[in-house]
Structure formats: C-alpha cells, structure tokens
Amino acid sequence: MSEIISIKSPREIELMRQAAKITAGARSMGRQAVRDGVSTREIDKAVHEYIVKNGAVPSCLGYEGFPAATCVSVNDEVIHGIPGKRIVRNGDIVSVDLCATYKGFVGDCAGTYACGEVSDEARRLIEVTRQAFFEGIKFAKVGYRIFDIGEAVQDYVESHGFSVVRDFVGHGIGRSMHEAPEVPNYRPPRGRHMNPRLMKGMTICVEPMVCAGDWQVDILDDGWTVVTVDGSLAAHYENTILITDGEPEILTMAEDI
C-alpha cells in the first residue's frame, strides 16, 4: 500500500458515490439472504449477481486469490470467511463484507446480521459493533487525526465489555480497495501507523471488528478465514466515508436497514 493519501476531486467523489451506492445495495442483498438453511455460497451468489446486474465488478473476487465476491463469516469467524457449503442456522450471526468497482472506483462495506433468534450476547455484540462505527466517525472531520477515530471506537467497545481486533484495520479507498492511510480501531503503539490529519476529499473505510471475548485472532489453514482464538463470537461493521467541510458523508449508508 502506497503511503500517499489520495484527495478526491469532485468528479472522483461523484464516481465514489455511485460505486458506494451499488456496494451498499449488495450488502442489503446479502443481509436479506441470511436465513435458516441457506449456504454461505448462496449468500455470495446473491451479492455477486446484484453487483453485476448494476454494472459493477465484484472487487473481492480474485483479489490476492480470494475465490468469491463476498466474505461471509459466521459466529467466531471475524472476517474473510470463504463462502462454501456451510449452512447458516437459526442462532448464528453472519458477517457480510464486500466491495464493488464501478467506473474505476471502489466502494467497501460490511455488516453482521442475526439469523433468527440469537442470544442476548450476540444481539448486543452486533449493536455495539455498529454503534462503535458511529462513535468513531464523530471524529472523522477536518482537523482531527486518524487515531482519534480509533480511540473513540476502542473506548466505546471496551466500555461495553467487548474487545477490538488489533491485527486488521480500516483503510483509505478510491481507485484501489486498499489505499493510505490505515485506519486502526484502537490506540496503536507509537510509530506503528501513520497518523495524518483528516482533510476534505479523503475517502476512508472505518470498520470496527469486535470480539465478545479476547481480541486475539488466528487465520485458518485456508489462508483467509480469521477466527477468534478463544472461540468467542465476533462482529464487523464497515462503511466507506467521505471527509467534508462538516460532518462525514457515509457513502455506503443507503440500503443499510
């Protein structure tokens, strides 16, 4: 990842909005597909078909060898779950993470959804993870720094008894899925990440990844699926946002209902 931060022009911002709208709609399709008896491959198919139908390209498909359009992660799987034969059952929580490229620009978003009736802990985990995003973007304004976002996320999550993953972070986005700067969801050790000031025209992805237990994670033998070491539940919530003169604009908010 280049350390040069891209400031988007008005034309580029409009293309980002279009890409993000498709991406958000695809997330909605994934959410609607979560039900008892569905396979994770079927969830991926619904997302893939929506993206293509709307004139975009599923950015995750083939990215560094990833074999699907969607990352579908269940229960203790934090991120990067590979869709396949696994069947979702009532009581599971399912994270749907995807990107779509439209006219050269990428949108990226994720959400965790309950299948039927889930435990009180699972429900609270989903709610806290989503709200942590909104707590973080209170600081996604001109003049604040990247770390201000992560500190707000960490403080909110930990105040509710959960933990924030350290091994994976948010990121800039634009013509590439991953651009500078990295956007941690916690207070990084000094010097580990750039801590630039936020500027109008930056587009970034803020994406809390939250565990019900300890934040330590591991990667399965498939080389992709990230799971909690202690087997605790995990949730993920992400949107692509634009830094403006005032409040941040959430580009992928549409269809998140």
Instruction: Confirm whether 255 is domain-assigned.
Output: no
Residue 118 in domain: yes
257 is a domain residue: no
Instruction: Let me know: does 226 contact 101? Beta carbons within 8 Å.
Output: no
Measuring CA to CA, which residue among 96, 160, 155 is closest to residue 125? 160
Which pLDDT belongs to residue 132? 98
Facing residues of 241 across strands? Answer: 204, 250
- Counting the structural domains of the chain, the total is 1
Whether residue 5 lies inside any domain: the answer is no
Cβ neighbors of 104 (< 8 A, separation 6 or more) are 15, 175
Whether residue 209 lies inside any domain: the answer is yes
Cβ-in-10-Å burial (0-12, 13-18, 19+) of 45 comes to: middle
The whole-number pLDDT of residue 148 equals 97
Q: Give the global pTM.
A: 0.97
Q: Is residue 4 part of a domain?
A: no
Res 190: pLDDT:
74
Q: pLDDT means per 10 residues in the chain (257 residues)?
A: 88 98 97 98 98 98 98 99 98 98 98 98 98 98 97 98 98 98 92 88 98 98 98 98 98 75
- How many residues are given for the chain? 257
CATH of the domain at 157: 3.90.230.10
Does residue 141 fall inside a structural domain? yes
Instruction: Please check whether residue 1 lies inside any domain of the structure.
Output: no
Whole domain around residue 132: which residue ranges? 10-250
